[in-house]
Amino acid sequence: MPNIKSAKKRVLVAEARNARNKAERSAMKTAVKKFEAAAANGNRTEAEGAYKVAVKAVDKAAAKGILHKNNAAHKKSAMTLKLNRVG
């Protein structure tokens, strides 16, 4: 544990940010998994709705620095290809 006051604060701030990033990453993964499940079922309308939610979640994660922008683009491209194959 740090002795300096500013170092103690950095530890607390880092823990808070880590928790927030973990929650955001988990929400994004859940949205992507819901889209994957809808696409696997072959339900076009359900997949389209889940696609919109998943793309928004990926964009938000990239904007907040949780994902690299190229990784976000790769995920969105793969989801788009999967959506176009459904139905």
Yes or no: domain 5-85 corresponds to CATH 1.25.50.10: no
Could you tell me the residue ranges of all domains in the chain? Answer: 5-85
Q: What is the pLDDT of residues 57-84, one digit of tens each?
A: 999 999 999 999 999 999 999 999 999 9
Are 24 and 66 in contact, with CB atoms under 8 Å apart? yes
Q: Cα separation of 28 and 26, whole Å?
A: 5
Are 28 and 58 in contact, with CB atoms under 8 Å apart? yes
Amino acid 8: pLDDT: 96
Average confidence score pLDDT of the chain: 96
Question: What's the average model confidence in pLDDT over 28-57?
Answer: 96
pTM over 0.75? The answer is: yes
Length of the chain equals 87
